[in-house]
Amino acid sequence: MPKKIVYIEDDLEMTYLIKMILERKDYEVISTNDGLEGFALIERESPDLVLLDLMMPNIDGWDIYHQIKSNENTSQIPVIIISAKAQPIDKVLGLEIAKVNNYIGKPFKPQELLESIESILN
């Protein structure tokens, strides 16, 4: 049974690229480009992992992350941030303060993403 990943990203080209990379590795990827729909999608799909962009219209990725972690039904789902906000301070805030499972800056190498996902799901 393939591992299920929810990907919340407003950039459709990035969504297509990530889906293509992950589906070739037999992950099931369910995505939305609407951050407001993101948390509802996570609740409905109960994924093994969430990939989350930070800078989106209407709702910030951190708001979605806090919804995930404050809900007892979703709080145990691992989250990887994938963001263009990739200064060292952003990564420190994400990894050390917010306690995300990983923080990957855009642009990134596909192998970096795959290794991060595999280390969390395996």
Cα distance between residue 68 and residue 85, in whole Å: 20
* Residues 39-76: tens digit of each pLDDT: 999 999 999 999 999 998 889 999 999 999 999 999 99
**Low-confidence winner among 17-26, 32-41, 85-94, 106-115 (lowest mean pLDDT):** 85-94
Amino acid making up residue 29: V
Task: Tell me which DSSP letter residue 3 carries.
Answer: P
Tell me what pLDDT residue 58 has: 85
What are the DSSP E strand ranges found in 66-114?
Answer: 79-83, 102-105
pLDDT attached to residue 19 = 97
